[in-house]
Structure 1
Amino acid sequence: MVHPAQGQMVQDLAAAGELGAPPSRYVLREKDRPVAATGAVQAAERELAAIPTIDVSRLAAESGDDGGEAAKLRSALQSWGLFAVTGHGMPEPFLDEILAATREFFHLPPEEKERYSNVVAADDGGGGGERFQPEGYGIDRVDTDEQILDWCDRLYLQVQPEEERRLEFWPEHPAALRGLLEEYTRRSERVFRRVLAATARSLGFEEEFFADKVGEKVATYARFTYYPPCPRPELVYGLKPHTDNSVLTVLLLDKHVGGLQLLKDGRWLDIPVLTNELLVVAGDEIEIMSNGVFMAPVHRVVTSERERMSVVMFYQPEPHKELAPSEELVGEERPAMYKKLKAKAFGDGFWDAFAAGERTIDFLKVKVEHQQQQPEEAAVSTSA
């Protein structure tokens, strides 16, 4: 069974053109409402985050003197939990093509997109019914009547390992999208691997230190998210506050419309609009593996009166891998801050945590109680 609201696409609501305000299913409690994304007064109340920038082309071990990029990387992960990336080797026209193809997909007629719906026939021996499953086109999982929904639609696909792709959910139109996704998957993974190796070196370990823990065949998911124009941006979340269910996340953001915000020192800061840069975000898994040396940052998306796109790649350990604090980072002065569990168990718990509006680490009670540190805000895992 799926909740009746599961089939309501936000884009269709916005396209109706008759909304004076979002339906009540999307309206936040007053204390949770973000500052509006438009208007001179509201804009003056918002603060732009001066996030670090890392040149990943200088992070390779064989390059010798990296000009301090590895040290900058460690500082960025410890102080911000995210950073902009240059030197990734992807030409700006290529990134523009991906965003254009994403926009073209979401602008297809509803009946065309519904071919890839994430609501599928239930596997119940022929008894009928439907169920939600993560991959495909639609909205995120709806569990209850009380659940406040996010102002976005998404297409979610597993892209690696290649043999685990479910191509029935890969759109045939626009024709360019599949090829672009193939190429972007290859190039984005190179960024992930380079940053992961440099992250290990920044802690004084060999570059394979974290790579061995995640495995060669990382589980990689692509999320294409469409944030429709919203008549009252101050009433809704585009995407609720969350941390990422990943080791690292690589984001390709809209070049023209901002909306991603970071919670830092109790304040929400705007992530600047990027042009040819990518954004890398630390996820829950690197927080656990580093025993809290690196912390997954809480972030959210606010809406505006303009449509916005993003393409996000989540890199997760092989499902059979143990997810636990690295022994080398555990000692008397820093006891293990997290319990051990399988990567698959953590990933499976994500969808329950996300629907409940909780961070997976908290939902699964992964933190060791006597070392528990309160997060800045309860959060769940997915991304802008």
Structure 2
Amino acid sequence: MVHPAQGQMVQDLAAGGELGAPPSRYVLREKDRPVAAAGAVQAAQRELAAIPTIDVSRLAAESGDDVVDDGAKAAKLRSALQSWGLFAVTGQGMPEPFLDEILAATREFFHLPPEEKERYSNVVAAADADGVGAGGERFQPEGYGIDRVDTDEQILDWCDRLYLQVQPEEERRLEFWPEHPAALRGLLEEYTRRSEQVFRRVLAATARSLGFGEEFFGDKVGEKVTTYARFTYYPPCPRPELVYGLKPHTDNSVLTVLLLDKHVGGLQLLKDGRWLDIPVLTNELLVVAGDEIELFALLGVADHEQVFMAPVHRVVTSERERMSVVMFYQPEPHKELAPSEELVGEERPAMY
């Protein structure tokens, strides 16, 4: 069974521009509302102008590459992951028009008629143990809709999404891959291939930044990583200060690669107790450390030092629509998650 609110799309609520305020299901408690104090946004933008930028074309992904990854580049990457947990990426080999096409196709999908999008709904017919329809419905993660609703008290996020497993290829459920717009499937295929190259290159360079061989983390995640693509649409909100686009969270991934809206910001990072705006990126991607790379690289509790920290982040809304395309990279299912043996010992025991 699914909660009655599961089928309510935020985009439908916002359609027409006549909504004076978000429905109560979306309104945060006053203490949780993302209201910045006067002048705080400007200060955040000044500080975030220094968000690290890494040219991944200068990070060798394979021993045969004609690229030299010197100590300075490795130190910059490690510093970015230690200090911020994220960084902007240039030199990713994806032309700006290609990235623009992905965002345009994303927008086109979300602006299709509701009945077309509902063909890919994440609310599906329930089945009994024999696979026969049981007369009810159930939520499943893949497909179009909103995130799972469990209780009447749950505060909902101001967004709709299309969530797809894109790797391994043999595990794709193509019945949830939209046929319209016609370009979307091909663009997603190509973007999946190219973004994995970014993931692998960053993963190898991250291992080298710790003094290990470039396959150190690659061996831990495996050759056939599990990868999910999340296309998220944040409709215009009449009272952005009352809601979250996405609640504060860390990513359940090794690394996350984000293609952000080029015109409207909204992603925020919690750093040193303050919420800071991530600036709008044009031809850059954003790479974010996930919970699993934090676990892989964990040091001990003796000095409470960790090599990397998965950053807490959230999305706030505005009176303009916004989109993003996010790739979550997870290890092969059979891979055991544990702190790296090379990084723990008697002086630095594993935290868990």
Q: Give the TM-score, by structure 2 length.
A: 0.91
- 2:208 and 2:258 mapped to 1: Cα distance? 23
Residues 45 and 278, structure 2, Cα contact 8 Å, conserved in 1: no
Residues 227 and 307, structure 1, Cα contact 8 Å, conserved in 2: yes
How far did 1:164 drift? 0.2
Residues 37 and 43, structure 1, Cα contact 8 Å, conserved in 2: no
Per-residue CA deviation, residues 316-361 of structure 1 (Å, 9 max, x unaligned), is: 00011101101111112221112xxxxxxxxxxxxxxxxxxxxxxx
How far did 1:35 drift? 2.1
Per-residue CA deviation, residues 81-121 of structure 1 (Å, 9 max, x unaligned), is: 0000001000000000000000000000000000000000x
- 1:329 and 1:311 mapped to 2: Cα distance? 33
- Residue aligned with 2:141, SS: coil
Residues 45 and 279, structure 2, Cα contact 8 Å, conserved in 1: no
For residues 24-103 of structure 1, what are the structure 2 equivalents within 5 Å? 24-35=24-35, 48=48, 50-60=50-60, 65-66=69-70, 68-103=72-107
Residues 268 and 277, structure 2, Cα contact 8 Å, conserved in 1: yes
- 1:225 and 1:61 mapped to 2: Cα distance? 30
Residues 233 and 321, structure 2, Cα contact 8 Å, conserved in 1: yes
- Residue aligned with 1:195, SS: helix
Which consecutive residues of structure 2, in runs of 5 or more, have no partner in the other structure? 302-307
Cα 1:44–1:170, aligned 2, differ >3 Å: closer, same or farther? Answer: closer
Aligned residues: 336
Residues 34 and 302, structure 1, Cα contact 8 Å, conserved in 2: yes
- Residue aligned with 1:156, SS: strand
Match of 2:319 in 1: 305
Cα 1:250–1:221, aligned 2, differ >3 Å: closer, same or farther? Answer: same
- 1:237 and 1:94 mapped to 2: Cα distance? 30
Cα 1:36–1:306, aligned 2, differ >3 Å: closer, same or farther? Answer: farther
Cα 1:132–1:232, aligned 2, differ >3 Å: closer, same or farther? Answer: same
How far did 1:128 drift? 1.2
Match of 1:114 in 2: 118
Which consecutive residues of structure 1, in runs of 5 or more, have no partner in the other structure? 339-384
Cα 1:39–1:129, aligned 2, differ >3 Å: closer, same or farther? Answer: farther
- Residue aligned with 2:332, SS: coil
- 1:63 and 1:242 mapped to 2: Cα distance? 36
- Residue aligned with 1:128, SS: strand
Residues 55 and 69, structure 1, Cα contact 8 Å, conserved in 2: no
- Residue aligned with 2:281, SS: coil
Residues 49 and 269, structure 1, Cα contact 8 Å, conserved in 2: no
Per-residue CA deviation, residues 40-89 of structure 1 (Å, 9 max, x unaligned), is: 99999996453100000111066995472211000000000000000100
Cα 1:117–1:318, aligned 2, differ >3 Å: closer, same or farther? Answer: same
- 2:164 and 2:31 mapped to 1: Cα distance? 34
- 2:121 and 2:196 mapped to 1: Cα distance? 27
How much is the aligned-residue C-alpha RMSD, in angstroms? 2.4
- 1:92 and 1:207 mapped to 2: Cα distance? 29
Residues 38 and 304, structure 1, Cα contact 8 Å, conserved in 2: no
Residues 92 and 198, structure 2, Cα contact 8 Å, conserved in 1: yes
Residues 35 and 46, structure 1, Cα contact 8 Å, conserved in 2: no
Per-residue CA deviation, residues 229-255 of structure 1 (Å, 9 max, x unaligned), is: 000000000000000010000000000
Residues 254 and 274, structure 1, Cα contact 8 Å, conserved in 2: yes
Residues 61 and 201, structure 2, Cα contact 8 Å, conserved in 1: no
Residues 38 and 305, structure 1, Cα contact 8 Å, conserved in 2: no
Residues 37 and 304, structure 1, Cα contact 8 Å, conserved in 2: no
Residues 85 and 288, structure 2, Cα contact 8 Å, conserved in 1: yes
